Structure 1
């Protein structure tokens, strides 16, 4: 069974258990030693007292001379000294006998076929012994309580560097290239080694991220020139009066695809650079304007597939967003809906702080929905030669802008993507 307690609690539990084990061992040892010494000392005293009575009193025909706490009994003695029935069952040796509330120590010996019993009242001694036992148990309890308090303080002190290191590693600034190393802030111990391991891992992560950003930025930048050539060529072809309607439709289709590619390249470029100051300088647009444009753009492809396209513009807020990011998110969701819907309808509904794209397509099983936003993940009903990057790009843009995207099912079949454009407080505008 996996032990899922926190590290501080594990230290506290270990400290208390160790104290309990050691303190309990000492407490039991003290009690046992006191009991053993008591038995040896009292047995020796009773044995000496019995020898004295037998040699100095009984052997000379005298009555036993005893103090008030001691009794003498003999198996052939007169009535006052005859062994009582309850003591007659005792075997030779040392015994503890209880009579009402009194405690006695008894020594039984057999000599020449006769049995002798020496009985001594030890009630006062037993009372003191019980006080000693109580002191030992109270001391044991106090040691456990003290161990609990001391363990709590020590656990916090021991865990403090680990907690501080975890807080530094979790901080988003630690992923920046100029972030200071962690290891110099810690001693050359296990925590220092862990901090050095984090520095090495974060350094390699920085290199990978930088290579990815540079690659994406370079590719996106280099694609701008051929896209501009395509766009200008489409404009020139569209102005040709000799172009037939079919050719003009194809040119318009190429122009729309070029515009989509240009928006996509701009999106990748901004995501690669990941600079909020630059993002603020990007073109901005309202949700209604972007949705109107994309609804007009996708209506023909959707309806030409035999689907019903329902657009409900509603009355969204006039807040303005990064136009490239918003077009990429909404365009990818509409493209995904068209790609996986064979019959029925596709709905685009604008709300006060976001929008919903709903389709009657093949749907996505509940157990696969969370994974659909990961790169290179495609649904079970794969179509075409896509790489599974559309929804991953949507998630990445939403994370960058502080938006949220969620996926749910539509009855009887289909998917419902809801995007909330409310900005997270940790994301710069």
Structure 2
């Protein structure tokens, strides 16, 4: 694929040559026309005036007859039958004969009528020498100058084009900055181009180091977070196995376990987002309804005593091939948002053959807030204490990572509808099982 700058320069020079050629051709066409209708006409008029002067001195003076002109004289009172047939009907003045392209000047005086014919071959020869040949020489001169200028310009921009080719081959995740090392630059790269190469080499090094630091931080932080989560999960399991545990404590321990599982799912999601896109995460077939039911059970604890009902409607039972924890994070974030911003009414999750729809009767969002809903740290209702504004941003990134689409439709003081549409696997639609009924809190 040609790079932009050399291609634009080449097109500019081609356009310049074409425009110059057209301008020269038009100019010499005008010159040839003026030569034909002005210079030759003036020459014939002068030749006629000179002849009549000679005729007055000596009536026996013959009309002009040389390599360029043919003259015919019809004296007053005589017939014009001695003229060539194509000259007989001509009236006084300048004429161009369409049959053979000859130029004729007819001059009538008291002594008779003079016909001066400028021969076609001579007119053509003069036109070639005075119009065509200079035009060709001018065109060749313009083409030569344009070619030399183009070659010089190409040499000037070739270092920039080389840099563009090198940078275009960079993998954003692993930029190959070695090609821009000072010792590997072409010998003809000097001045600003060499400074640009050094700047790009430095920038590539900083980007590569930053990416490596982010990968290391994500990997190390995830590993370190798993250790206390494992301790929390084991300790809560042991506490639940104790005899005579009060029901209130059991509920608290179960909430601790659900929060631990949610945290593990978030860690897995962050690790997936931190991996290169060409590294496929561990995936498996799972029931979408089962994941939604688990997240709905966890989200009901957020409702507390609010007059809100959370319903799950499995219209279909699709299976999905992906990491199950990813769908846990996506659905969990949507449900937590719906429960947090709904003060009365219902939160409904509908599982369809190719999508999951979360709708609520909460506070909704204005159009300007809806347009920014997926921005990191943006909150439509900052006066509410829950949330950091990262949930929908994480949902969007996870959906994009697995080829799903997330859309929001919201009306202020009416509610919000979020739809996750899954991309079907290669070869057909998502597999489904028979539908079941609705469960409600």
Q: Name the TM-score, length of structure 2 as normaliser.
A: 0.66
Q: Which residue of 1 aligns with 2:331?
A: 330
Q: Is the 8 A contact 1:165 1:195 kept in 2?
A: no
Distance 1:199 1:72, change over 3 A: farther
Q: Does 2:152 align with 1:175?
A: no
Per-residue CA shift, 1:97-120, capped at 9, x if unaligned? 348969756599xxxxx9x99763
Give the 5 Å matches for 1:42-61: 43-44=42-43, 46-48=45-47, 50-55=49-54, 57-61=55-59
Q: Which residue of 2 aligns with 1:19?
A: 17
Whole-Å separation in 2 of the counterparts to 1:99 and 1:273:
85
Q: Is the 8 A contact 1:104 1:121 kept in 2?
A: yes
Give the 5 Å matches for 1:13-412: 14-15=12-13, 17-35=15-33, 38=36, 39-40=38-39, 43-44=42-43, 46-48=45-47, 50-55=49-54, 57-62=55-60, 65=63, 70=71, 97-98=94-95, 120-122=116-118, 124=120, 168-169=169-170, 174-177=171-174, 201-239=203-241, 244-274=246-276, 279-280=281-282, 285-302=286-303, 304-366=305-367, 368-369=369-370, 371-379=372-380, 383-384=384-385, 386-409=387-410
Q: Is the 8 A contact 2:365 2:413 kept in 1?
A: no
Whole-Å separation in 2 of the counterparts to 1:398 and 1:292:
20
Q: Is the 8 A contact 1:283 1:324 kept in 2?
A: no
Whole-Å separation in 2 of the counterparts to 1:13 and 1:236:
77
Q: Does 41-50 or 261-270 show the bigger shift?
A: 41-50
Q: Does 316-325 or 270-279 show the bigger shift?
A: 270-279
Q: Is the 8 A contact 1:238 1:251 kept in 2?
A: yes
* Count of aligned residue pairs for this structure pair: 382
Whole-Å separation in 2 of the counterparts to 1:117 and 1:207:
99
Whole-Å separation in 1 of the counterparts to 2:211 and 2:303:
38
Q: Is the 8 A contact 1:105 1:120 kept in 2?
A: yes
Whole-Å separation in 1 of the counterparts to 2:288 and 2:122:
90
Task: Report deviation, 1:309.
Answer: 1.4
Q: Does 295-304 or 384-393 show the bigger shift?
A: 295-304
Whole-Å separation in 1 of the counterparts to 2:366 and 2:194:
46
Whole-Å separation in 1 of the counterparts to 2:50 and 2:131:
36
2:373 partner SS: helix
2:359 partner SS: strand
2:409 partner SS: strand
Whole-Å separation in 2 of the counterparts to 1:352 and 1:179:
44
Task: Report deviation, 1:350.
Answer: 1.3
Task: Report deviation, 1:229.
Answer: 3.1
Task: Report deviation, 1:360.
Answer: 2.1
Q: Is the 8 A contact 2:405 2:421 kept in 1?
A: yes
Whole-Å separation in 2 of the counterparts to 1:33 and 1:134:
7
Whole-Å separation in 2 of the counterparts to 1:32 and 1:117:
32
Q: CA RMSD in A?
A: 5.1
Whole-Å separation in 1 of the counterparts to 2:11 and 2:113:
53
1:318 partner SS: strand
Whole-Å separation in 1 of the counterparts to 2:358 and 2:292:
11
